[in-house]
């Protein structure tokens, strides 16, 4: 590869100049030039991903066993897999893939992949690329969306293509070739104007009977609350409200109870379509679902196939899902595909993008009777924290004291995703309750090396005022109590949004 790993170009997207405006206590509008954003570039990365499940030093460790021995559906493995230039594990290492994969299909071997490529090579050292998508492992080529990044990959989006290089059926070890494309100049990929599409279908969450499509894989640690439960889903998507109506795809992933005060779920899922020209294309959703609200909105954070580079909000009304997403491929206005049609993007009233800065404090309370961070998965080995998962419903405040004004809550989970350092996979929604941002959310998925003085994680989407948003969050530890484990972290979040 010309320059193999060390020559990669990157892009940071920018389309408009923003005006400095009003201050909302914890949020303000900035001039995007302050971030030094220039034209987008296109980068190509090629490396090999080593999934080592056997031996004394596995890098892929099961943390959740499937609830039924007759199926792998629901298993979860935490990974800290080496990334190398060549297919041999002894070749030059350029980074590690840290996160997890989960079996998310009842009918085939299809994995939900949630991982950060944490690079250690050259100018990309300490930068990350974030991937969340669907991996049908026995397909010759699989595509997953790049939904964000940190460092040189701020504001990035793109896609990753995976091809199995070798698989050992005796040990389960696999070597996979990855080709990752991160957007830069759209013209290099032949991309034209974005188009706006509308999809309508019904999502069936079947938790009862012998053929349940939603299966609990993590039970809450306390019987008095549902906080912390996790269910893996392989839910049918149909044109009509009856489960017997025409199926257009499946929703594969999981949802988790992420609030201690209401029924609010963290939704992480891929819509895997099987209908018409969308067959084999996917749309990826990660967001917050307050299930008893009449209407809930969650961000579309990426996709594959016809939905490469997509980002937009998804709105759900009970079992009816209305999905709006922006397509970077050429579509024809007026074309109707039963459950999908092209719209004029002006219908959403989109104007110029703005750059906003938010500052607040994140309180991780693990001690006492009112803990807001609760362990839901214990590590499989007592000698390491690798693989533990904690569900969070952490308060966000204007000042460092937990008694200061609360502006929202951080709801989601963090998981120990490194075998060599204290590095967490962070998956959370900042659910705001203050001022005009009330009921709007910002979604973060990234890597948090907690002992670094400053850590950066990508903003991959949002809802409400943060539809179509992208950006990054910087975290600095304000205080940490080694006796209790409680921590207060200062967050500065920079978001491009409309």
Convert the pLDDT of each residue in 211-226 to its tens digit: 888 888 887 766 567 8
468 pLDDT band (50/70/90 cuts)?
A: confident
Is residue 165 domain-shared with residue 51, that is, in the same domain?
Answer: yes
Residue 430 pLDDT > 80: yes
pLDDT at 176: 98
Residue 355 pLDDT > 60: yes
Percentage above 90 pLDDT, the chain? 40
pLDDT at 108: 84
Is residue 29 in some structural domain? Answer: no
Q: How much is the average pLDDT of 171-199?
A: 73
Say which range, 61-65, 275-279, 321-325, has the weakest mean pLDDT. 321-325
Is residue 424 domain-shared with residue 469, that is, in the same domain?
Answer: yes
pLDDT at 72: 83
- What gap in Å lies between CA 493 and CA 358, rounded to an integer? 5
Is residue 58 domain-shared with residue 72, that is, in the same domain?
Answer: yes
pLDDT at 395: 96
Q: How much is the average pLDDT of 241-250?
A: 94
Domain boundary among 327, 348, 369: 348
The total of structural domains in the chain comes to 3
Say which range, 81-95, 101-115, 338-352, 478-492, has the weakest mean pLDDT. 338-352
Domain boundary among 164, 189, 214: 189
Is residue 12 in some structural domain? Answer: no
For the record, the structure tokens of 317 come out as: 């009304």
Is residue 271 domain-shared with residue 363, that is, in the same domain?
Answer: no
Is residue 328 domain-shared with residue 465, that is, in the same domain?
Answer: no
| Contact criterion met (CB below 8 Å) for 384 and 419 | yes
For the record, the structure tokens of 302 come out as: 């990426």
Residue with tokens 């092209």: 342
- What gap in Å lies between CA 50 and CA 163, rounded to an integer? 12
pLDDT at 253: 87
Is residue 51 domain-shared with residue 163, that is, in the same domain?
Answer: yes
Q: pLDDT (tens digit, 9 = 90+) per residue, 222-244?
A: 656 788 889 889 999 999 999 99
Is residue 363 domain-shared with residue 454, that is, in the same domain?
Answer: yes
332 pLDDT band (50/70/90 cuts)?
A: very low
Is residue 81 in some structural domain? Answer: yes
Q: Which residue has the higher pLDDT, 344 or 418?
A: 418
Cβ-count burial of 355 within 10 angstroms (0-12 exposed, 13-18 middle, 19+ buried)? Answer: buried
- What gap in Å lies between CA 462 and CA 474, rounded to an integer? 17
Is residue 448 in some structural domain? Answer: yes
Is residue 311 in some structural domain? Answer: yes
Is residue 162 domain-shared with residue 203, that is, in the same domain?
Answer: no
pLDDT at 83: 96
Residue 86 pLDDT > 90: yes
Q: How much is the average pLDDT of 428-435?
A: 92
Is residue 324 in some structural domain? Answer: yes
Length of the chain: 498
Is residue 202 domain-shared with residue 90, that is, in the same domain?
Answer: no
Q: Which range of residues forms the domain containing residue 385? A: 354-497
311 pLDDT band (50/70/90 cuts)?
A: low
- The CATH number of whichever domain residue 287 belongs to comes to 2.40.480.10
Residue 346 pLDDT > 70: no
Domain boundary among 313, 332, 348: 348
pLDDT at 12: 25
Reference 413, options 288, 236, 270, 282; nearest CA is 288
Say which range, 208-222, 276-290, 419-433, 474-488, has the weakest mean pLDDT. 208-222
Is residue 15 in some structural domain? Answer: no
- What gap in Å lies between CA 487 and CA 372, rounded to an integer? 11
Is residue 335 domain-shared with residue 199, that is, in the same domain?
Answer: yes
Q: How much is the average pLDDT of 116-123?
A: 91
Is residue 239 domain-shared with residue 321, that is, in the same domain?
Answer: yes
Q: Which residue has the higher pLDDT, 366 or 352?
A: 366
Q: CA quadruple 59, 133, 194, 349: dihedral positive or negative?
A: negative
Say which range, 73-82, 220-229, 407-416, 473-482, has the weakest mean pLDDT. 220-229
Q: How much is the average pLDDT of 59-72?
A: 79
120 pLDDT band (50/70/90 cuts)?
A: very high
Q: How much is the average pLDDT of 352-364?
A: 91
Q: How much is the average pLDDT of 428-434?
A: 92
Number of C-beta neighbours around residue 184 at 10 A: 22
CA dihedral 69, 71, 72, 73 (to 10 degrees): -120
Q: How much is the average pLDDT of 273-294?
A: 87
Is residue 341 domain-shared with residue 359, that is, in the same domain?
Answer: no
| Predicted structure pTM score | 0.74
Say which range, 59-68, 123-132, 488-497, has the weakest mean pLDDT. 59-68
Is residue 20 in some structural domain? Answer: no
Residue 6 pLDDT > 60: no
Averaged pLDDT of the chain: 80
Reference 237, options 249, 222, 226; nearest CA is 249
């Amino acid at each position: 590869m010309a320059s193999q790993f060390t020559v990669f170009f990157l892009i940071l997207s920018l389309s408009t100049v923003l005006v400095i405006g009003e201050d909302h206590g914890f949020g303000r509008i900035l001039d995007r030039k302050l971030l030094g954003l220039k034209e987008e570039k296109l980068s190509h990365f090629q490396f090999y991903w080593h999934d080592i499940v056997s031996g004394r030093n596995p890098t892929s460790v099961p943390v959740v066993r499937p609830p039924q021995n007759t199926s792998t559906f629901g298993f979860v493995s935490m990974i800290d897999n080496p990334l190398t230039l060549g297919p041999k594990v002894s070749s030059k290492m350029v980074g590690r893939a840290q996160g997890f994969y989960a079996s998310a299909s009842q009918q085939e071997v299809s994995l939900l992949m949630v991982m950060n490529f944490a690079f250690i090579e050259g100018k990309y050292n300490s930068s990350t690329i974030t991937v969340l998508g669907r991996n049908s492992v026995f397909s010759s080529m699989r595509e997953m969306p790049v939904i964000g990044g940190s460092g040189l990959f701020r504001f990035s989006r793109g896609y990753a293509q995976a091809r199995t290089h070798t698989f050992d059926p005796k040990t389960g070890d696999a070597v996979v070739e990855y080709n990752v494309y991160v957007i830069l100049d759209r013209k290099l990929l032949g991309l034209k104007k974005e188009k706006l599409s509308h999809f309508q279908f019904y999502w069936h969450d079947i938790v009862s009977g012998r053929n349940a499509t939603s299966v609990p894989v993590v039970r809450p640690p306390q019987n008095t609350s549902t906080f912390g439960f996790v269910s893996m889903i392989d839910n049918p998507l149909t044109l009509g409200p009856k489960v017997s109506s025409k199926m257009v795809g499946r929703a594969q992933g999981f949802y988790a109870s992420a609030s201690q005060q209401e029924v609010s779920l963290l939704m992480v899922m891929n819509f895997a379509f099987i209908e018409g020209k969308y067959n084999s294309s996917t749309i990826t959703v990660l967001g917050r679902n307050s299930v008893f609200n009449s209407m809930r909105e969650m961000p579309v954070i990426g996709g594959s196939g016809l939905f490469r580079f997509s980002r937009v909000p998804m709105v759900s009304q009970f079992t009816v899902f209305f999905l709006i997403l922006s397509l970077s491929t050429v579509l024809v206005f007026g074309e109707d595909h039963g459950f999908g049609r092209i719209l004029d993007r002006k219908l959403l009233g989109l104007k110029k993008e703005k750059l906003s800065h938010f500052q607040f404090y994140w309180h991780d309370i693990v001690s006492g009777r009112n803990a807001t961070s609760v362990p839901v998965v214990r590590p499989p080995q007592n000698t390491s924290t690798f693989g533990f998962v904690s569900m969070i419903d952490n308060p966000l405040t204007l000042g460092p004291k937990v008694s200061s004004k609360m502006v929202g809550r951080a709801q989601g989970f963090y998981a120990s995703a490194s075998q060599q350092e204290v590095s967490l996979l962070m998956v959370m929604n900042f659910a705001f309750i203050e001022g005009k941002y009330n009921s709007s959310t910002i979604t973060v998925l990234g890597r948090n090396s907690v002992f670094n003085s400053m850590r950066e994680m990508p903003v991959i989407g949002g809802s409400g005022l943060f539809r179509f948003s992208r950006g990054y969050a910087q975290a600095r530890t304000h205080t940490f109590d080694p006796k209790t484990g409680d921590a207060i972290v200062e967050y500065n979040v920079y978001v491009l949004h409309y």
